[in-house]
Chains A and B, each alone.
Chain A
Amino acid sequence: MIPYLECWLPASESARLEQHLVDCDSCRSLLVRLRAGHQMAQRLAALPIEGGSASDFEFGLAALEAGVSAAGTHPSVWRDRLERLATPRMVTALSVLVLLQLGLLVVSNRGVLLGERSRVSVTRDAVNFREFRRLSISELKSNTQPHVSTEGYVEDVHTDEEEGTVAFKLVESPQNAESFVVCEIMSPIQIAPPRAGTRIRVYGVARYDAQNDRNWNEVNPVLSIVPLNP
């Protein structure tokens, strides 16, 4: 939404977003909040930064120059420390720890690995999935409605633990992987990630990612996943 607020979203995408905003109360109120946050954040650029006077930096530069010339051709302190840490015993210990972690991960996520039905913590009465427009993946290109459902085969599941997101590709068929949509599950929506190779139906918000190396349709965020028969 920030590109829209800064007026550098392509006209077609702006129109698509505005059409979405007509129908979507939650996105409209989010846009109002983001606009307020954006206007406040823009005032940061003009603020002087505490500390960092010219004399502070001159002093710092002198210290650095002294440090760099004293270091000369001596090996980096960090390289020394790394070489001391990377002993065979330490590498073995770290490998064992990693394997233990992987084992714990498998045990605690066996439900997901066995393909159990996803659990959705979004309140059912807050979202009426019957109102979502049902489309094939290839039909998404010409879609202008915000809430859609589509189905396909799961590929390339990628989990980002730090961001709390799961992204995956949904292809029309294993034989037609060129027709795909990128789906993303974002926190705080809790949906178990689908397994690669399974056939599912996703419900969510239709988007288009117009960045240079992308240019693809998305269902982002995914609001619900229903497993289908292969």
Chain B
Amino acid sequence: MRERELVLAAQRAEPAALREIYIAYHRRAYNLVLYSLGDPALAQDVLQVVFLKVFRGLASFRFQSSLATWIYRIAHNECREHHRRLKPPIVPLEAVLGSADEVDPKPSSHDLHARRERDLIIQRAVMELPVKMREAVVLKYVEGLSYDDMARVLGCAPGTVASRLNRALAELEERLRPFKRLL
């Protein structure tokens, strides 16, 4: 079903349309929420709230952006509220892996498990970034949004998005520098 028809059907509270919206977008919204909050169980709970707001807010959706952008914006706002209320802790990279000197030397490049472990180091480092930078990185590198769409989701100018991404990448490089020999 095309997006416009899907939204109009959902605005009429047709269960099949609501289900289709959830199936189409829950994974993408979950990515953003998980990276923002850092905890899978918490992300699941918040995701439910997000989609409750999506379904209840559909009546006021005016097609001024794509549905995905609108849903991301709700998810982003919900995470921001959550951060204000509860400040969920992020476990630092060193607490999980030890210092760079303590981590095992780089194993064989043919070891799939080891490659995944190295990639998880990067994921964990992203989780450590300040929330605004983390969200910018996720929206760009995981969800593949344009600067304009990212600006709409985050409620700021595209120039601000670019600035946040620059700072995020510089900070990511700095955090991962001690682990460079492993990556």
Q: Evaluate contact between A44 and B122: CB separation under 8 angstroms.
A: yes
Contact segment of A29-37, A80-88, A117-125, A191-199: A29-37
Contact B40 A52, beta carbon cutoff 8 Å: yes
Q: Is A68 an interface residue (CB 8 A)?
A: yes
Chain A residue with Cβ nearest B23: A61
Q: Which of B1-9, B62-70, B87-95, B168-176 is near enough to bind chain A? A: B168-176
B48–A64 CB distance below 8 A? yes
When C-beta atoms are compared, the residue in chain B nearest to A37 turns out to be: B169
Residues of A16-65 at the interface with B, using a CB-CB cut-off of 8 Å, are 30, 33-34, 36-38, 40-47, 49-52, 56-57, 60-61, 63-65
Do the beta carbons of B52 and A160 come within 8 Å of each other?
no
Q: Does any Cβ of A come within 8 Å of B123's Cβ?
A: yes
Main secondary structure of the interface of A (DSSP, over half): helix
Contact A65 B15 (CB under 8 A): yes
Task: Name the CB-closest residue of A to B147.
Answer: A211
B44 contacts A51, CB within 8 Å? yes
Task: Say if the beta carbon of B75 comes within 8 Å of chain A.
Answer: no
Bound form: Cα–Cα A191–B125 in Å? 32
Minimum CB–CB distance from B83 to chain A (whole Å) comes to 13
Which of B122, B156, B162 touches A43 (beta carbons < 8 Å)? Answer: B122
Given the complex, which residues of B lie within 8 Å of A46, measured CB to CB?
A: 119
Residue-by-residue, is B149-183 near A (CB-CB < 8 Å gives 1, otherwise 0)?
Answer: 00000001011101111101111111010000001
**A-side contacts of B119, CB under 8 Å:** 43, 46-47
Q: Which residues of A have CB within 8 Å of B176? A: 36, 40
CB distance from B5 to the nearest CB of A (A): 20
Contact of B160 with A50 in the complex, beta carbons under 8 Å: no
Pairwise interchain contact B166-A60, C-beta atoms closer than 8 A: no
Number of interface residues of A (CB under 8 A): 38
- B168 CB to closest chain A CB, in angstroms? 7
A156 at the interface (CB under 8 A from B): no
The tally of residues in B whose CB lies under 8 Å from a CB in A reads 52
Cα A21 to Cα B52 in complex, Å, equals: 49
Task: Assess whether B160 is in contact with A160, with CB atoms less than 8 Å apart.
Answer: yes
A1, closest chain B residue (CB) = B166
By beta carbon, the residue of chain B nearest A184 is B159
Contact A68 B142 (CB under 8 A): no
Asked if A37 contacts B173 (CB within 8 A), the reply is yes
**B123 x A63 contact (CB < 8 A):** no
**Does the CB pair A68–B34 fall under 8 Å?**
no
Tell me if A209 and B141 are in contact (CB < 8 A): no
What separation, in Å, do the CA atoms of A186 and B176 have in the docked complex? Answer: 25
Known: A34-B169, A36-B173, A37-B169. A51 touches B41 (CB 8 A): yes
Known: A47-B120, A51-B41. A33 touches B55 (CB 8 A): no
Contact flag A49-B166 (CB < 8 Å), given A41-B126, A44-B141, A209-B159: no
Could you say which residues of chain A place their CB within 8 Å of the CB of B41?
A: 51
Contacts A40-B122, A68-B55, A165-B163 given: A51-B40 contact, CB under 8 Å? yes
| With contact pairs A33-B169, A60-B47, A68-B52 given, residues A49 and B31 touching in the complex (Cβ less than 8 Å) | yes
B47: chain A residues within 8 A (beta carbon): 60
Tell whether A163 is near chain B: CB-to-CB under 8 Å. Answer: yes
Q: Given the known A-B contacts A33-B174, A61-B19, A160-B160, are A40 and B183 also in contact in the complex, defined by CB atoms under 8 Å?
A: yes
Instruction: Using A37-B173, A64-B51 as known contacts, list a sample of 4 further A-B pairs with CB atoms less than 8 Å apart, ordered by residue number in A.
Output: A44-B122, A44-B142, A61-B19, A68-B52
Can you report 25 A-B residue pairs in the complex whose CB atoms are below 8 A from each other? A1-B166, A2-B165, A2-B166, A37-B171, A37-B173, A38-B169, A40-B173, A41-B122, A41-B141, A41-B169, A43-B122, A44-B122, A44-B123, A44-B137, A51-B40, A51-B43, A52-B44, A60-B44, A60-B51, A65-B15, A68-B13, A68-B18, A163-B156, A165-B160, A211-B159
